Structure 1
Amino acid sequence: MKLINSFGPNPRMVRMFLVERGIELATEELDLLAGENRQAAYTARNPGGQMPALELDDGSVLAETTCICEYLDEKHPGQSLLGESLEERASNRMWTRRVELNITENIYNAFRYSEGLELFKDRLHCIPEAADGLKAKSRGQLEWLDGLMADREYVGGDNLGLADLVLYCCLDFAAGIGQALNPELKNIGAWFQRMEQRPSAQGSLHPSSAAVGMKG
Protein backbone atom coordinates (compact mmCIF):
# COMPACT_ATOMS: atom_id res chain seq x y z
CA MET A 1 0.00 0.00 0.00
CA LYS A 2 1.26 3.50 -0.78
CA LEU A 3 0.11 7.09 -0.71
CA ILE A 4 0.33 8.91 -4.04
CA ASN A 5 1.42 12.22 -2.62
CA SER A 6 2.13 15.82 -3.61
CA PHE A 7 2.16 19.40 -2.42
CA GLY A 8 -1.29 20.78 -1.67
CA PRO A 9 -3.80 21.22 1.16
CA ASN A 10 -5.71 18.03 0.38
CA PRO A 11 -2.63 15.77 0.40
CA ARG A 12 -1.55 17.60 3.54
CA MET A 13 -4.85 16.75 5.22
CA VAL A 14 -4.20 13.04 4.66
CA ARG A 15 -0.60 13.40 5.87
CA MET A 16 -1.87 15.18 8.98
CA PHE A 17 -4.28 12.32 9.58
CA LEU A 18 -1.43 9.81 9.24
CA VAL A 19 0.64 11.67 11.83
CA GLU A 20 -2.30 11.90 14.23
CA ARG A 21 -2.95 8.17 13.90
CA GLY A 22 0.69 7.10 13.88
CA ILE A 23 0.36 5.35 10.52
CA GLU A 24 3.37 5.08 8.22
CA LEU A 25 2.96 4.50 4.49
CA ALA A 26 5.26 4.31 1.51
CA THR A 27 4.78 7.27 -0.83
CA GLU A 28 5.00 8.04 -4.52
CA GLU A 29 5.51 11.72 -5.35
CA LEU A 30 3.77 13.55 -8.19
CA ASP A 31 4.39 17.15 -9.23
CA LEU A 32 0.99 18.78 -8.75
CA LEU A 33 2.13 22.24 -9.80
CA ALA A 34 3.44 20.86 -13.09
CA GLY A 35 0.14 19.08 -13.68
CA GLU A 36 1.54 15.56 -13.49
CA ASN A 37 -1.71 14.46 -11.85
CA ARG A 38 -3.60 15.40 -15.03
CA GLN A 39 -1.46 13.25 -17.29
CA ALA A 40 -2.64 9.92 -18.70
CA ALA A 41 -0.23 7.85 -16.62
CA TYR A 42 -2.01 9.01 -13.47
CA THR A 43 -5.59 9.41 -14.70
CA ALA A 44 -5.48 5.80 -15.88
CA ARG A 45 -5.16 4.91 -12.19
CA ASN A 46 -7.35 7.69 -10.78
CA PRO A 47 -9.76 9.03 -13.43
CA GLY A 48 -10.64 12.03 -11.26
CA GLY A 49 -7.06 13.23 -11.45
CA GLN A 50 -7.16 14.74 -7.98
CA MET A 51 -4.54 14.37 -5.29
CA PRO A 52 -3.84 12.47 -3.16
CA ALA A 53 -4.75 8.85 -3.81
CA LEU A 54 -4.13 5.59 -2.00
CA GLU A 55 -2.92 2.59 -3.97
CA LEU A 56 -3.90 -0.63 -2.24
CA ASP A 57 -1.92 -3.85 -2.19
CA ASP A 58 -4.04 -5.30 -5.01
CA GLY A 59 -3.27 -2.30 -7.25
CA SER A 60 -6.68 -0.67 -6.93
CA VAL A 61 -6.78 3.03 -6.08
CA LEU A 62 -8.88 4.99 -3.60
CA ALA A 63 -9.28 8.74 -4.06
CA GLU A 64 -11.13 11.45 -2.09
CA THR A 65 -9.40 12.50 1.12
CA THR A 66 -12.11 11.53 3.59
CA CYS A 67 -12.58 8.12 1.96
CA ILE A 68 -8.84 7.49 2.24
CA CYS A 69 -8.81 8.51 5.89
CA GLU A 70 -11.87 6.45 6.77
CA TYR A 71 -10.37 3.38 5.12
CA LEU A 72 -7.07 3.78 6.97
CA ASP A 73 -8.81 4.58 10.25
CA GLU A 74 -10.81 1.36 10.08
CA LYS A 75 -7.86 -0.73 8.89
CA HIS A 76 -5.43 0.32 11.63
CA PRO A 77 -6.07 -0.25 15.34
CA GLY A 78 -5.78 2.66 17.73
CA GLN A 79 -7.63 5.82 18.73
CA SER A 80 -10.11 6.47 15.93
CA LEU A 81 -10.53 9.99 14.53
CA LEU A 82 -13.99 9.02 13.33
CA GLY A 83 -15.42 8.01 16.70
CA GLU A 84 -16.19 4.67 18.28
CA SER A 85 -19.99 4.55 18.22
CA LEU A 86 -22.36 4.74 15.25
CA GLU A 87 -23.57 8.10 16.54
CA GLU A 88 -20.06 9.53 16.86
CA ARG A 89 -19.11 8.37 13.39
CA ALA A 90 -22.28 9.78 11.87
CA SER A 91 -21.71 13.13 13.59
CA ASN A 92 -18.11 13.17 12.38
CA ARG A 93 -19.22 12.61 8.79
CA MET A 94 -21.90 15.30 9.15
CA TRP A 95 -19.43 17.96 10.27
CA THR A 96 -16.86 16.96 7.69
CA ARG A 97 -19.49 17.24 4.97
CA ARG A 98 -20.63 20.65 6.24
CA VAL A 99 -17.07 21.97 6.27
CA GLU A 100 -16.26 20.65 2.80
CA LEU A 101 -19.52 21.64 1.12
CA ASN A 102 -19.93 25.08 2.67
CA ILE A 103 -16.39 26.31 3.29
CA THR A 104 -13.39 24.51 1.84
CA GLU A 105 -14.69 23.77 -1.65
CA ASN A 106 -15.73 27.40 -2.01
CA ILE A 107 -12.27 28.59 -0.94
CA TYR A 108 -10.50 26.20 -3.30
CA ASN A 109 -12.71 26.97 -6.29
CA ALA A 110 -12.45 30.71 -5.68
CA PHE A 111 -8.66 30.33 -5.83
CA ARG A 112 -8.81 28.23 -9.00
CA TYR A 113 -11.03 30.81 -10.67
CA SER A 114 -9.04 33.91 -9.63
CA GLU A 115 -5.52 33.98 -8.16
CA GLY A 116 -4.82 30.46 -9.42
CA LEU A 117 -6.48 30.86 -12.81
CA GLU A 118 -3.26 30.74 -14.83
CA LEU A 119 -2.38 27.45 -13.17
CA PHE A 120 -5.79 25.82 -13.58
CA LYS A 121 -7.34 27.29 -16.74
CA ASP A 122 -6.07 24.47 -18.95
CA ARG A 123 -6.73 21.72 -16.40
CA LEU A 124 -10.28 22.40 -15.21
CA HIS A 125 -13.44 24.17 -16.31
CA CYS A 126 -12.95 27.52 -14.57
CA ILE A 127 -15.62 30.16 -13.93
CA PRO A 128 -13.79 33.43 -13.13
CA GLU A 129 -17.02 35.38 -12.66
CA ALA A 130 -17.97 33.07 -9.77
CA ALA A 131 -14.84 33.73 -7.69
CA ASP A 132 -16.08 36.73 -5.70
CA GLY A 133 -19.36 35.02 -4.85
CA LEU A 134 -17.58 31.88 -3.68
CA LYS A 135 -15.29 33.93 -1.45
CA ALA A 136 -18.29 35.71 0.04
CA LYS A 137 -20.06 32.42 0.65
CA SER A 138 -17.10 30.88 2.45
CA ARG A 139 -16.73 33.99 4.61
CA GLY A 140 -20.40 33.81 5.56
CA GLN A 141 -20.19 30.13 6.43
CA LEU A 142 -17.09 30.73 8.55
CA GLU A 143 -19.04 33.38 10.47
CA TRP A 144 -21.82 30.83 10.99
CA LEU A 145 -19.36 28.23 12.27
CA ASP A 146 -17.64 30.77 14.52
CA GLY A 147 -20.94 31.38 16.27
CA LEU A 148 -21.24 27.68 17.07
CA MET A 149 -17.74 27.23 18.45
CA ALA A 150 -17.81 29.43 21.55
CA ASP A 151 -17.96 26.40 23.84
CA ARG A 152 -16.34 23.79 21.59
CA GLU A 153 -12.78 22.55 21.56
CA TYR A 154 -13.14 21.20 18.03
CA VAL A 155 -15.46 21.67 15.06
CA GLY A 156 -17.70 18.74 15.94
CA GLY A 157 -17.52 18.98 19.73
CA ASP A 158 -15.05 17.74 22.33
CA ASN A 159 -12.93 15.42 20.17
CA LEU A 160 -10.60 15.98 17.23
CA GLY A 161 -12.17 14.75 14.00
CA LEU A 162 -11.68 14.77 10.25
CA ALA A 163 -13.56 18.07 9.97
CA ASP A 164 -10.81 19.75 11.99
CA LEU A 165 -8.07 18.45 9.70
CA VAL A 166 -10.00 19.41 6.56
CA LEU A 167 -10.69 22.94 7.79
CA TYR A 168 -7.25 23.58 9.28
CA CYS A 169 -5.32 22.56 6.16
CA CYS A 170 -7.63 24.66 4.00
CA LEU A 171 -7.41 27.80 6.15
CA ASP A 172 -3.64 27.52 6.50
CA PHE A 173 -3.39 27.30 2.70
CA ALA A 174 -5.95 30.08 2.20
CA ALA A 175 -3.85 32.53 4.20
CA GLY A 176 -1.26 32.42 1.42
CA ILE A 177 -3.68 32.91 -1.49
CA GLY A 178 -5.46 36.09 -0.47
CA GLN A 179 -8.21 34.49 1.62
CA ALA A 180 -6.89 34.97 5.15
CA LEU A 181 -9.17 34.21 8.08
CA ASN A 182 -11.15 37.20 9.33
CA PRO A 183 -9.49 38.20 12.65
CA GLU A 184 -12.92 39.06 14.06
CA LEU A 185 -13.78 35.35 14.12
CA LYS A 186 -12.36 34.87 17.60
CA ASN A 187 -13.61 31.34 18.21
CA ILE A 188 -12.24 29.92 14.97
CA GLY A 189 -9.08 31.95 15.50
CA ALA A 190 -8.53 30.33 18.91
CA TRP A 191 -9.29 26.89 17.44
CA PHE A 192 -6.81 27.54 14.62
CA GLN A 193 -4.08 28.40 17.12
CA ARG A 194 -4.76 25.18 19.01
CA MET A 195 -4.58 23.17 15.79
CA GLU A 196 -1.38 24.95 14.76
CA GLN A 197 0.31 23.77 17.95
CA ARG A 198 -0.33 20.10 17.25
CA PRO A 199 2.80 18.22 16.10
CA SER A 200 0.85 16.98 13.08
CA ALA A 201 0.46 20.55 11.78
CA GLN A 202 4.18 21.01 11.19
CA GLY A 203 4.77 17.34 10.50
CA SER A 204 2.34 17.31 7.58
CA LEU A 205 3.79 20.23 5.61
CA HIS A 206 5.24 19.23 2.25
CA PRO A 207 8.98 19.92 1.83
CA SER A 208 8.25 22.22 -1.11
CA SER A 209 5.92 24.52 0.86
CA ALA A 210 8.58 27.11 1.64
CA ALA A 211 9.74 27.32 -1.98
CA VAL A 212 6.17 27.50 -3.29
CA GLY A 213 5.23 30.17 -0.76
CA MET A 214 2.01 28.41 0.24
CA LYS A 215 1.29 25.88 2.96
CA GLY A 216 0.31 22.55 1.52
Structure 2
Amino acid sequence: MKLYSSIGPNPRLVRLFLAEKGVALPVEEVDIITGANRQPTFLALNPGGTTPVLELDGGQCVAETTAICEYLEERFPQPALLGGSAEQRALTRMWWRRVDLQVVQPMTAGFRAAEGLGLFKDRVRCYPAVADEFKAATREGLTWLDGQLGEQPFICGEQLTVVDLLLLSFLEFGAQVGQGLDAQHCPNLARWLDGMCMRESVRNTR
Protein backbone atom coordinates (compact mmCIF):
# COMPACT_ATOMS: atom_id res chain seq x y z
CA MET A 1 0.00 0.00 0.00
CA LYS A 2 0.98 3.62 -0.51
CA LEU A 3 -0.40 6.82 0.99
CA TYR A 4 -0.68 10.04 -0.98
CA SER A 5 -0.62 12.77 1.64
CA SER A 6 -0.29 16.54 1.91
CA ILE A 7 -0.68 19.39 4.33
CA GLY A 8 -4.14 19.75 5.84
CA PRO A 9 -6.27 18.16 8.57
CA ASN A 10 -7.62 15.23 6.56
CA PRO A 11 -4.22 13.80 5.63
CA ARG A 12 -3.15 14.51 9.22
CA LEU A 13 -6.00 12.31 10.48
CA VAL A 14 -4.88 9.33 8.40
CA ARG A 15 -1.24 9.75 9.43
CA LEU A 16 -2.32 9.82 13.09
CA PHE A 17 -4.51 6.76 12.54
CA LEU A 18 -1.58 4.85 11.07
CA ALA A 19 0.73 6.00 13.87
CA GLU A 20 -1.69 4.80 16.55
CA LYS A 21 -1.86 1.46 14.72
CA GLY A 22 1.94 1.28 14.54
CA VAL A 23 1.73 0.87 10.77
CA ALA A 24 4.30 2.48 8.48
CA LEU A 25 3.43 2.94 4.80
CA PRO A 26 5.31 4.53 1.92
CA VAL A 27 4.14 8.15 1.64
CA GLU A 28 4.18 10.44 -1.38
CA GLU A 29 3.62 14.10 -0.58
CA VAL A 30 1.30 16.00 -2.92
CA ASP A 31 1.80 19.75 -3.21
CA ILE A 32 -1.76 21.03 -3.03
CA ILE A 33 -0.64 24.66 -2.82
CA THR A 34 0.71 24.55 -6.37
CA GLY A 35 -2.24 22.44 -7.49
CA ALA A 36 -0.47 19.13 -8.03
CA ASN A 37 -3.68 17.44 -6.90
CA ARG A 38 -5.47 19.00 -9.89
CA GLN A 39 -3.10 17.59 -12.47
CA PRO A 40 -3.98 14.59 -14.67
CA THR A 41 -1.54 12.25 -12.92
CA PHE A 42 -3.19 12.72 -9.55
CA LEU A 43 -6.73 12.93 -10.93
CA ALA A 44 -6.17 9.46 -12.39
CA LEU A 45 -5.82 8.26 -8.80
CA ASN A 46 -8.66 10.35 -7.37
CA PRO A 47 -10.93 12.25 -9.78
CA GLY A 48 -12.14 14.29 -6.80
CA GLY A 49 -8.68 15.84 -6.56
CA THR A 50 -8.54 15.61 -2.76
CA THR A 51 -6.00 14.18 -0.37
CA PRO A 52 -5.37 11.75 1.22
CA VAL A 53 -5.55 8.78 -1.12
CA LEU A 54 -4.66 5.22 -0.18
CA GLU A 55 -3.39 3.09 -3.05
CA LEU A 56 -4.08 -0.56 -2.29
CA ASP A 57 -1.84 -3.50 -3.11
CA GLY A 58 -4.07 -4.41 -6.03
CA GLY A 59 -3.80 -0.95 -7.55
CA GLN A 60 -7.22 0.34 -6.49
CA CYS A 61 -7.30 3.77 -4.89
CA VAL A 62 -9.44 4.73 -1.89
CA ALA A 63 -10.14 8.38 -1.13
CA GLU A 64 -12.15 9.99 1.71
CA THR A 65 -10.87 9.67 5.26
CA THR A 66 -13.82 7.61 6.51
CA ALA A 67 -13.31 4.95 3.86
CA ILE A 68 -9.54 4.93 4.35
CA CYS A 69 -9.73 4.60 8.14
CA GLU A 70 -12.38 1.89 7.99
CA TYR A 71 -10.28 -0.07 5.50
CA LEU A 72 -7.17 0.26 7.66
CA GLU A 73 -9.16 -0.84 10.70
CA GLU A 74 -10.12 -4.04 8.91
CA ARG A 75 -6.59 -4.69 7.74
CA PHE A 76 -5.00 -3.81 11.10
CA PRO A 77 -7.68 -4.40 13.75
CA GLN A 78 -5.49 -3.75 16.81
CA PRO A 79 -5.60 -1.45 18.57
CA ALA A 80 -9.26 -0.93 17.73
CA LEU A 81 -9.87 2.72 16.83
CA LEU A 82 -13.43 2.31 15.62
CA GLY A 83 -14.55 0.29 18.64
CA GLY A 84 -14.02 -3.28 19.74
CA SER A 85 -17.69 -4.32 19.79
CA ALA A 86 -20.84 -3.60 17.83
CA GLU A 87 -21.97 -1.17 20.54
CA GLN A 88 -18.64 0.65 20.62
CA ARG A 89 -18.51 0.89 16.84
CA ALA A 90 -22.00 2.38 16.76
CA LEU A 91 -21.05 4.99 19.37
CA THR A 92 -17.82 5.80 17.54
CA ARG A 93 -19.63 6.34 14.26
CA MET A 94 -22.26 8.45 16.01
CA TRP A 95 -19.66 10.78 17.51
CA TRP A 96 -17.67 10.81 14.27
CA ARG A 97 -20.76 12.15 12.52
CA ARG A 98 -21.48 14.69 15.26
CA VAL A 99 -17.96 16.10 15.24
CA ASP A 100 -18.05 16.21 11.46
CA LEU A 101 -21.34 18.11 11.35
CA GLN A 102 -20.77 20.47 14.26
CA VAL A 103 -17.05 21.24 13.96
CA VAL A 104 -15.38 19.97 10.82
CA GLN A 105 -17.85 21.15 8.20
CA PRO A 106 -18.46 24.69 9.49
CA MET A 107 -14.76 25.19 10.28
CA THR A 108 -13.77 24.13 6.78
CA ALA A 109 -16.45 26.29 5.18
CA GLY A 110 -15.43 29.27 7.32
CA PHE A 111 -11.80 28.89 6.30
CA ARG A 112 -12.58 28.56 2.60
CA ALA A 113 -14.84 31.61 2.78
CA ALA A 114 -12.22 33.79 4.47
CA GLU A 115 -8.51 32.98 4.98
CA GLY A 116 -8.52 30.26 2.33
CA LEU A 117 -10.62 32.09 -0.26
CA GLY A 118 -7.70 32.82 -2.56
CA LEU A 119 -6.73 29.15 -2.63
CA PHE A 120 -10.20 27.68 -3.01
CA LYS A 121 -12.36 30.20 -4.90
CA ASP A 122 -11.54 28.68 -8.29
CA ARG A 123 -11.78 25.09 -7.07
CA VAL A 124 -14.93 24.76 -4.97
CA ARG A 125 -17.94 26.92 -4.19
CA CYS A 126 -17.12 29.33 -1.35
CA TYR A 127 -19.42 31.63 0.61
CA PRO A 128 -17.47 34.72 1.74
CA ALA A 129 -20.64 36.60 2.68
CA VAL A 130 -21.33 34.14 5.50
CA ALA A 131 -17.80 33.33 6.64
CA ASP A 132 -18.47 34.74 10.11
CA GLU A 133 -21.62 32.64 10.46
CA PHE A 134 -19.70 29.48 9.65
CA LYS A 135 -17.08 30.38 12.24
CA ALA A 136 -19.77 31.13 14.83
CA ALA A 137 -21.34 27.74 14.13
CA THR A 138 -17.96 26.11 14.78
CA ARG A 139 -17.64 27.86 18.14
CA GLU A 140 -21.16 26.80 19.08
CA GLY A 141 -20.40 23.23 18.10
CA LEU A 142 -17.25 23.18 20.20
CA THR A 143 -19.09 24.63 23.20
CA TRP A 144 -21.72 21.91 22.90
CA LEU A 145 -19.06 19.23 22.53
CA ASP A 146 -17.24 20.57 25.59
CA GLY A 147 -20.34 19.98 27.68
CA GLN A 148 -20.77 16.49 26.31
CA LEU A 149 -17.14 15.59 26.97
CA GLY A 150 -17.26 16.57 30.63
CA GLU A 151 -14.47 14.84 32.52
CA GLN A 152 -14.19 11.87 30.17
CA PRO A 153 -10.66 11.13 28.95
CA PHE A 154 -11.79 10.72 25.33
CA ILE A 155 -14.70 11.80 23.15
CA CYS A 156 -16.31 8.35 23.15
CA GLY A 157 -15.56 7.60 26.80
CA GLU A 158 -12.66 5.65 28.22
CA GLN A 159 -10.92 4.59 25.00
CA LEU A 160 -9.16 6.56 22.29
CA THR A 161 -10.97 6.37 18.95
CA VAL A 162 -10.72 7.82 15.48
CA VAL A 163 -13.01 10.62 16.68
CA ASP A 164 -10.28 11.97 18.96
CA LEU A 165 -7.83 11.92 16.06
CA LEU A 166 -10.33 13.69 13.81
CA LEU A 167 -11.04 16.43 16.31
CA LEU A 168 -7.37 16.92 17.12
CA SER A 169 -6.51 17.26 13.43
CA PHE A 170 -9.09 19.98 12.93
CA LEU A 171 -8.34 21.84 16.17
CA GLU A 172 -4.69 21.98 15.10
CA PHE A 173 -5.81 23.27 11.71
CA GLY A 174 -8.19 25.76 13.29
CA ALA A 175 -5.40 27.17 15.46
CA GLN A 176 -3.41 27.87 12.28
CA VAL A 177 -6.23 29.69 10.46
CA GLY A 178 -7.73 31.92 13.13
CA GLN A 179 -10.21 29.43 14.58
CA GLY A 180 -8.30 28.21 17.61
CA LEU A 181 -10.02 26.62 20.58
CA ASP A 182 -11.18 29.09 23.24
CA ALA A 183 -9.85 27.38 26.37
CA GLN A 184 -11.86 29.64 28.71
CA HIS A 185 -15.16 28.69 27.13
CA CYS A 186 -14.17 25.06 26.49
CA PRO A 187 -12.13 23.95 29.53
CA ASN A 188 -12.94 20.26 29.08
CA LEU A 189 -11.77 20.27 25.49
CA ALA A 190 -8.69 22.27 26.48
CA ARG A 191 -7.81 19.61 29.06
CA TRP A 192 -8.48 16.88 26.48
CA LEU A 193 -6.34 18.68 23.90
CA ASP A 194 -3.41 18.96 26.29
CA GLY A 195 -3.57 15.22 26.87
CA MET A 196 -3.81 14.42 23.17
CA CYS A 197 -0.79 16.58 22.38
CA MET A 198 1.28 14.46 24.75
CA ARG A 199 0.63 11.27 22.78
CA GLU A 200 3.62 9.79 20.97
CA SER A 201 1.64 9.48 17.75
CA VAL A 202 0.90 13.20 17.78
CA ARG A 203 4.44 14.28 18.55
CA ASN A 204 5.97 11.97 15.94
CA THR A 205 3.72 12.95 13.03
CA ARG A 206 4.01 16.73 13.07
Both proteins in one fold, TM over 0.5: yes
Instruction: Give the deviation of 1:78 after TM superposition.
Output: 2.0
Letter in 2 for 1:116: G
Residue 112 of structure 2 corresponds to 112
Instruction: Give the deviation of 1:77 after TM superposition.
Output: 4.1
Letter in 2 for 1:190: R
Normalised TM-score (structure 1): 0.91
Structure 2: how far apart are the matches of 1:35 and 1:113? 19
Structure 2: how far apart are the matches of 1:107 and 1:6? 19
Normalised TM-score (structure 2): 0.96
Q: Deviations for 1:9-58, whole angstroms, at most 9, x for unmatched residues?
A: 11111101111110111112210111211222212221211110101112
Q: Deviations for 1:185-210, whole angstroms, at most 9, x for unmatched residues?
A: 100000000001001112222xxxxx
Cα contact 2:183–2:189 (8 A) shared by 1 = no
> Which structure 2 residues correspond to residues 116-155 of structure 1 after superposition, within 5 A?
116-155=116-155
The runs of 5 or more residues in structure 2 that have no matched partner are none
The runs of 5 or more residues in structure 1 that have no matched partner are 206-216
Cα contact 2:5–2:53 (8 A) shared by 1 = yes
- Tell me which of the two structures has the higher relative contact order, counting C-alpha pairs closer than 8 angstroms and 6 or more residues apart: 1
User: Taking every aligned residue pair, what percent have the same amino acid on both sides?
Assistant: 47
Cα contact 1:66–1:162 (8 A) shared by 2 = no
Instruction: Give the deviation of 1:72 after TM superposition.
Output: 0.6
Cα contact 2:155–2:163 (8 A) shared by 1 = yes
Structure 1: how far apart are the matches of 2:149 and 2:116? 31
Corresponding position: 1:59 with 2:59: yes
Residue 161 of structure 1 corresponds to 161
Runs ≥4 residues deviating over 6 A? none
> Which structure 2 residues correspond to residues 20-99 of structure 1 after superposition, within 5 A?
20-99=20-99
Structure 2: how far apart are the matches of 1:158 and 1:21? 18
